Structure formats: C-alpha cells, structure tokens
Structure 1
Amino acid sequence: MALFLSLLLIFMFPSSNAQGPPSPGYYPSSKVGSIGFNQGFRNLWGPQHQNMDQGSLTIWLDRNSGSGYKSLDAYQSGYFGAAVKVQSGYTAGVITSFYLSNNEAHPGNHDEIDIEFLGTTPDKPYVLQTNVYIKGSGDGNIIGREMKFHLWFDPTQNFHNYAILWNPNEIIFFVDDVPIRRYPRKIDATFPLRPMWVYGSIWDASSWATEDGKYKADYRYEPFIGRYNNFKLGGCRADGPASCRPPSGSPVGSSGLSSQQYAAMEWVQRNYKVYDYCHDPRRDHNLIPEC
C-alpha cells in the first residue's frame, strides 16, 4: 500500500514540476534598475482604493470601485516589469493586471499587451493570461491573441516578478525571468508598433474572467487586493532620441532567445500552458494569420 501511495504521489506531483522550470541562464530583470512607484507612475482611477506603504503599492476592488495606475511616460519599446502578489481565497470574476496600452490615445483602435491574473475559486489555481491586441477592438470584432498558463508556484503566497519585453522584433513575457511566451513580429499588421503607456489595475470582469463567466465576483469576500512593488521601466520613451535601444531579453542579441531560454520556455508551455489561441478550433484563423 505504501508503495502504491508513493507511486501515486510521484504521478500527481512529478519532481520536475515541483522543482520549477530549468534555469533560463539569463536574467533580464537584473539589467534594469528598480524604481519607486511615484518615480514612474501615477494614479489613473479609484484613488481612494490605492495606497503606498514602504515602497509597495496596494490597490483594491470592492462593490464601489476598483483602481488603476498609469506610467508618466509613453514608450516605443522596452522592458516593463513589477513584482505582484494576488489575493487568495474566492477571487472569481476579478482581474489583477499589468499591461501596456494606447487606448486613451487611440480609443476603439488601440494596441495592447497584457499580463492578467484571472481570479478563481478556492479549489482551483489562478490562470495567468497573456494577450496581444493590434489596432483595436472598437469595430465589434475583438481579435485577442490569448495564451493562458497555470503557474509552478502559488502567486498568492509571495511576490513574483512579471515582465513584458517589447521591441520592434518581438514581445516576450517573463515570469521570474523565465520566458513563458514569445510573440515575434511576422508581419506589421499583426504586431503593435505605436507608442504605449504602462498600466496596472484591479477590476470586475465577471462576464468572462473565470471559466468564461461561469463564476462571478462575490462581494461578500471584498475587498479584493492586488499588491505591487519592484517596478521596472527600462524603455525608450516615445519622445526620446531615435538612437535609444531597448534592453535585450536574451544574451543572443536584440531579438530571439538563447537555447537555454527556449528550453525553459518549452518546459513551461509543456507543463503549464492551458490555452493557446492558435490551437483553438473555434477561432477564425483568417483573422490570426500569424498562426
């Protein structure tokens, strides 16, 4: 019986997963210095639901409001990151996010690069959604490019670093310096090229966030809290010199990943990817030619 239980535990919790992904061998977060929130950001909405304490930003959602913040500058490329800790317990319908967008400059025709924690029920893990929008969703034909992951750790227990690297050649999403997704520029029509600001927010997306809207935000559990620190804005500002070069996401040059980084990314996608828009038979693949 003991042998059976041991084998069952090994099957349920393989040792490679327990240890986390293989080392990426390169740590782009170490190339970009951290800044305080007020050095690079300001409140955008819900100021009464936002608080700074010893360098850590807390934002929260209750039945009255959520909250969001925005970078002081627009960027044309760069490495953008923050350490985030999300709330445990019942968080269905609630999204805690860190993203790039130019929605305010191009309403209905905007670009966006998202990292979103999709709230959940206590018996299920958080979903980390990555997404890319190009030239808008105002025409009624929303074309998202979602790739969703579970994580190899509990994001409610500690702060972990999440980052977006965006340059003219590619977008790379990082979790604790491990690349989890690379979105290359294949054609201009499927790649965001206009300047964007950096945002963070917590808000109610009950209509779709948790299992396609099956579970809604339940304000008996309010407030819902998101915590952020270790902000990084290593970018080329939109009004900066043309000679500016954004930080690299890898040791191999201005684009692409090293073989060690690819191995780490493949491990994550093999073990923790739970949705890929390119492999969704319900999608109209004429609208996502990069697939």
Structure 2
Amino acid sequence: MALPKFAGFLLLPLLLFISGAAHASGVSFDQNYQITWGYDHIATLDNGREVQLSMDASSGSGFASQKSYGSGFFNMTIKLPGRNSAGVVTAFYLISHGDRHDEVDFEFLGNREGKPITLQTNVFADGVGNREQRILLWFDPTADFHSYKVLWNHHQIVFYVDDIPIRVFKNNKRIGVPYPTQPMQIEASLWNGDSWATDGGRTKIDWSYAPFQAHYRGFDISGCEFQSQDAGRCYSLAYWWNSWKHWVLDEEQERQLEDVRKNFMNYDYCADRSRYPVPPPECH
C-alpha cells in the first residue's frame, strides 16, 4: 500500500495564553490528570511526563482529566502495545457522563503481529453514536510515539494524526443532526475488546503475550475549562480554536483528508448500506 503524498503538515497557530485556557509545556501527569481505574496497572515515568498503562487477564487501566472542557484542541502522544495485541483496545477520547452522553473517540484495535492496526474513530452526540470510520495507519504505531489530536469548536470536530486531518464531523444541528455540546473530560484507557475489536471478535487475546503496555505523553491541555455559570464563554472567539479559520479545513487540509480517505479508509458508516439503507443526514 503506497504512502500518501502529503506535501506538508498544517502548521497550527501558537497557542494563546488566555484566561480559562489551560496550557503548559512539559507538564507532569498529576497536574491535569488522575488515575480512574486499574491503579496497580499504571506506572508514571520520566518524572511524571510519561504514563504506562498495562493490561493482563486481571485488569486493564485508565486515566482522565481532572476537569471538563467545553471546547478546545486536545492532544495526546501515544505508543501502542507491540507484538501480538489482537483483541486489545488502546483508547484516547473525550466524553461527558450521563444517559445521553457526548463522546469523541480514538480507538486503536490491536492485531496479530505483522498485521496492521486499525484506528477507529466515532462520535456520539446526545446519546446517539454508531458513526464509526476506520483507517489503516500509514506507519507502525507500536514502533514510536505519534500524536493524535481533536479540534472541537461550535462548527466542527476534526481528528488529526500527526497534524494530518483524518476525519471531520460538522455541526449539522440545522438539519437535525445532534452535535457534541456537553462538557467533556479527556480520558484514556487500555482494555479487553476481544469480543469485537479484531476480525469482528473472531481473533481473541493471547494472554501469553501479557502484560500489554501502552505509553502516553503530552499532558498539557489547550481547552476551555467548563464553568456552569458561564458555559457560553467556551464558544468565545478569544480562544484560537474557535476563530473563523478553524470553522472549516483549508485547501491543503482538504487535500490531505481526501488522500487519507482514498488510500487508508477501509470502513465508513456513511457507505454501509446494510446498517443504513438510507444514509444518515450528515452523510449527504
């Protein structure tokens, strides 16, 4: 499979240090995050600037941001479990909590050694999900760290891999499509997904390869911290990610996105007529 001919990466603007936007370079894990489960399966490294999640037959593990956010540009740098990771799911996502939750997912679906790892993205809004897209990455995500990012403003959600846009979910509330607007935490986890993750659940986890380990870096956060008494401020144009030039992709980003879709996408819910004989409205 040929590599896409990316002419260059989008150079993101310098982050503005404005009131309510949390951002710092090289911050340690415990400044912005906390362990949520699998406490004895998590290790902090490099003076707290790296976290290792582990999973074995007894448990996986996960962590979450200490605060919730109403918009932002969220980044995590991840190195996935190597060797035989079939059935193992490594995740990085935004999520609200409650019955009708919002969620924006990166899920990495492990595979047998030598076979490609699938990246699945999904969007839930007002409790409605089932918007999966899947791509095969153009590099080995187990060999080194790569960055995975989400831009979330009131106009669009953009998923990035190493600054290359791989998916856009537009705000189409005007045509009745729910859009994530609830305050969301940033979460990450390593967990057992062998009921569905690899070959539709036919390939199970080989526990002889445990413990499986995923490494996370980049615990600074560029986001509008949610405050219930002033929720609307997270749409303010004072935050760079809400500025007009982030309402749509530019021409180069559109080309990069099309290259990814053409060369690496192997599933799109919008094209799945067995699930959606009539495509959802956002797919038109």
| Equivalent of 2:8 in 10, 23, 34 | 23
Contact map agreement 1:28 1:248 (CA 8 A) in 2: no
Consecutive aligned runs of 4 or more in structure 1 exceeding 4 Å deviation: 28-33
State the match for 1:273 in structure 2: 265
Write the distance in 1 (CA, Å) between the matches of 2:13 and 2:136: 22
Contact map agreement 1:94 1:119 (CA 8 A) in 2: yes
SS at match of 1:248: helix
Q: CA deviation at 1:135?
A: 2.1
Tell me the TM-score normalized by structure 1: 0.85
Q: CA deviation at 1:82?
A: 0.7
In the alignment, structure 2 segments of 5+ residues that lack a partner are 17-22
State the match for 1:202 in structure 2: 190
Distance change >3 Å, CA 73–CA 146, structure 1 → 2: same
**1:127-276 paired onto structure 2 within 5 Å:** 127-136=118-127, 143-187=129-173, 189-239=177-227, 242-244=232-234, 245=236, 246-248=239-241, 253-276=245-268
Write the distance in 1 (CA, Å) between the matches of 2:70 and 2:167: 20
196-205 or 32-41: which moved more? 32-41
State the match for 2:20 in structure 1: none
Kindly indicate whether residue 113 of structure 2 is the aligned counterpart of residue 122 of structure 1. yes
Q: CA deviation digits over 1:178-234, x for unaligned, max 9?
A: 111111011264211111110000000111111211111121110011100023411
Kindly indicate whether residue 87 of structure 2 is the aligned counterpart of residue 93 of structure 1. yes
Write the distance in 1 (CA, Å) between the matches of 2:207 and 2:179: 38
Distance change >3 Å, CA 220–CA 247, structure 1 → 2: farther
Alignment length (residue pairs): 267
Write the distance in 2 (CA, Å) between the matches of 1:152 and 1:53: 28
In the alignment, structure 1 segments of 5+ residues that lack a partner are 1-12, 138-142
Q: CA deviation at 1:28?
A: 5.5
Distance change >3 Å, CA 29–CA 67, structure 1 → 2: farther
* Identity %, equivalent residues: 36
State the match for 1:81 in structure 2: 75
Write the distance in 2 (CA, Å) between the matches of 1:255 and 1:96: 29
Q: CA deviation at 1:109?
A: 2.1
Tell me the TM-score normalized by structure 2: 0.87
Q: CA deviation digits over 1:30-72, x for unaligned, max 9?
A: 7764332111100000110111110110001001110010101
Across the aligned residues of Structure 1 and Structure 2, the Cα RMSD in angstroms comes to: 2.2
230-239 or 65-74: which moved more? 230-239
184-193 or 38-47: which moved more? 184-193
Q: CA deviation digits over 1:122-159, x for unaligned, max 9?
A: 1311001111012226xxxxx41111111111101110
Write the distance in 2 (CA, Å) between the matches of 1:156 and 1:66: 18
Q: Which amino acid aligns with 1:72?
A: Q
Contact map agreement 1:185 1:191 (CA 8 A) in 2: yes
Q: Which amino acid aligns with 1:124?
A: K
State the match for 2:41 in structure 1: 49
Contact map agreement 2:166 2:261 (CA 8 A) in 1: yes
Write the distance in 1 (CA, Å) between the matches of 2:40 and 2:202: 30
Contact map agreement 2:273 2:279 (CA 8 A) in 1: no
SS at match of 1:290: helix
State the match for 2:52 in structure 1: 58
Contact map agreement 1:173 1:182 (CA 8 A) in 2: yes
